[in-house]
Amino acid sequence: MRKRLTIENYKNGILAGDRIILSQAITIIESGLTQDRKLASELLHEILPATGNSLRIGITGVPGVGKSTFIEALGKHITSLGKHLAVLTIDPSSKRSGGSILGDKTRMEQLSHDPLAYIRPSAANLSLGGVARNTRETILLCEAAGFEVIIVETVGVGQSETQVKGMTDFFLLLMLAGAGDELQGLKKGIMEMADAIAINKADGDNKTAAALAVQEYTNALHLFPKSESGFESKVVSCSALEQTGISDIWNIILAYQSSAKTSGFLYKNRQSQNLEWMYEFIRQTLEMSFYGKPLVKKALRTVEKSVVSGSELPVKAAQDLLDLFFREDILD
C-alpha cells in the first residue's frame, strides 16, 4: 500500500487545489481498507467547512445517446465562462476485477486537457444506483478543492440509475429522437425526476425528428404532477457534435439554481439528501459487516446450495445467517 500523508497534508493540499493530492484523497475515500476508512472519515470532517458551495449536476441517458460527447461539450462551455469544473464519471465495473471497464478521460480528450477541468473516472463496483459507492464523499472533496460546478455521470438509465438524483441539485436526462418508442420505453419515474430533458444528436437529417420529440416530451411532462422544487421542467434539443443548444441547457440549469435558491428548495433538498446519505451509510456498513463475519462467510456457501436446490426456504436461510451474524457480533 502506498504510504499515506498526514491529515493536515491532505487537508492543506485539497484546500490549495492540488489535484494530485485530491486524486490521492479520492483513492483513500474509495478504499475498502479499515485504516483508509478511518482516515477518510477524519479527512471529510476536516474539509467539511469548505464544502457545499458548488452547483451539482446529475446527468443520465439512454444507451447510445452520446453522454460523454455531450458532457465534454457542456464542460467546455462551462470552463469557457471561467468556472472550475469537476466531472465524476461512473464507469461499469468488471465482475472479475471490480475495476473500471471504460476510461472517460480517453472519451473526453479535449476536456481532460482543459486547465479548468478535472475528470475523475470511478468504477461502479457493482453497486446499485449507477453511481460509485463513494460519489457523495468525492463531491465534497472536489468542492473543498474549489470546483464551482460538479457533474456526475451515471452508468446508464433505468430504475436503479436514479440514485444520482439524490446527490445532485439538477437532474438532466438525455434522450434520442426517432427511436419510435421513447415515451413507452422510458420509465415514468425518471421523467418525473428530470429537471430538464435534452434531445441530443439534433443535427443533420435528425433535426426534424428532434423537434417532434421535443414537442412529444413537453406534452408528456404536462401530465405529471408539479415538481417539489416548483420549477417547470424544460425540454430542449441539442447537438453535442455541432455545439448547438449547449448554452441553452446551461441557462436552464442556472435558472433552476436561481429559482431553487430563492424558494429555499436548494437548501431543503440538500438537507434531505444528507439524511438519506446517513441511512444509506448505515445500510452499507451493516452489509459490509455482515459479509465480513467469519461464521457467516463459512456458512454462506452451504446455505446458498440449500436455497438453490430447494431444500431450504430463502427466508429461513436468511434468518439463519442473520442469527449467526448477531451471535458472532455478541461474541466479539
Q: Is the dihedral of CA 158, 159, 164, 165 positive or negative?
A: positive
Q: What is the pLDDT of residues 160-207, one digit of tens each?
A: 466 888 999 999 999 988 654 444 445 567 788 899 999 999 999 999
Q: Is the dihedral of CA 88, 271, 251, 175 positive or negative?
A: positive
What's the confidence (pLDDT) of residue 105? 52
The listed range with the strongest mean pLDDT (83-87, 101-105, 275-279) is: 83-87
Question: CB neighbours of 312 closer than 8 A, spacing ≥ 6?
Answer: 303, 306
Q: What is the pLDDT averaged over residues 237-247?
A: 96
Listing DSSP states for 22-68 in one string gives HHHHHHHHH---HHHHHHHHHHHHHHGGG-S-SEEEEEEE-TTS-HH
Q: What is the pLDDT of residues 244-271, one digit of tens each?
A: 999 999 999 999 999 999 999 999 999 9
What's the confidence (pLDDT) of residue 128? 44
What's the confidence (pLDDT) of residue 251? 98
Type of residue at 18: D
Portion of the chain with pLDDT greater than 90, in percent? 64
Q: Closest by alpha carbon to 186, among 58, 59, 63?
A: 63
In degrees to the nearest 10, what's the CA dihedral of 103, 104, 110, 113?
-70
What's the confidence (pLDDT) of residue 98? 43
- pTM for the predicted model, two decimal places: 0.87
**Is 155 a residue whose pLDDT tops 80?**
no
What's the confidence (pLDDT) of residue 164? 87
What one-character DSSP code corresponds to residue 145? T
Q: What is the pLDDT of residues 97-109, one digit of tens each?
A: 344 444 445 578 8
Q: b or e along 186-208 (b: 16 or more beta carbons within 10 Å of the residue's beta carbon)? A: beeebbebbbbbbbbbbbeebee
Q: Closest by alpha carbon to 69, among 180, 157, 187, 198?
A: 198
Domains 1-50 and 277-331 share a fold: no
Determine contact, residues 154/131, Cβ cutoff 8 Å. Answer: yes
- In CATH terms, the fold of domain 1-50 is 1.20.5
What's the confidence (pLDDT) of residue 332? 61
Instruction: Of 5-19, 32-46, 126-140, 142-156, give the lowest mean pLDDT range.
Output: 126-140
d(CA 239, CA 203): 6
Q: Where in the chain are the domains?
A: 1-50, 52-263, 277-331
> pLDDT grade, residue 288 (50/70/90)?
confident
**Is 96 a residue whose pLDDT tops 60?**
no
**Is 129 a residue whose pLDDT tops 60?**
no
d(CA 213, CA 235): 9
**Is 49 a residue whose pLDDT tops 50?**
yes
> pLDDT grade, residue 331 (50/70/90)?
low
Query: How deeply is 61 buried, as exposed, middle or buried, from its count of CB atoms within 10 A (0-12, 13-18, 19+)?
Result: buried
HSE-up of 232 (CA within 13 Å, CB side)?
A: 7
d(CA 58, CA 46): 26
d(CA 293, CA 325): 7
What's the confidence (pLDDT) of residue 220? 85
Q: What is the pLDDT averaged over residues 282-288?
A: 89
52-263 CATH: 3.40.50.300
Listing DSSP states for 229-287 in one string gives T-PPPEEEE-BTTTTBSHHHHHHHHHHHHHHHHHHTHHHHHHHHHHHHHHHHHHHHHHH
More confident residue, 57 or 292: 57
What's the confidence (pLDDT) of residue 327? 84
Instruction: Of 30-34, 57-61, 183-187, give the lowest mean pLDDT range.
Output: 183-187
More confident residue, 225 or 28: 28
CATH class of 277-331: mainly alpha
The listed range with the strongest mean pLDDT (98-107, 132-141, 313-322) is: 313-322
From the centroid of its chain, how far is CA 130? 7
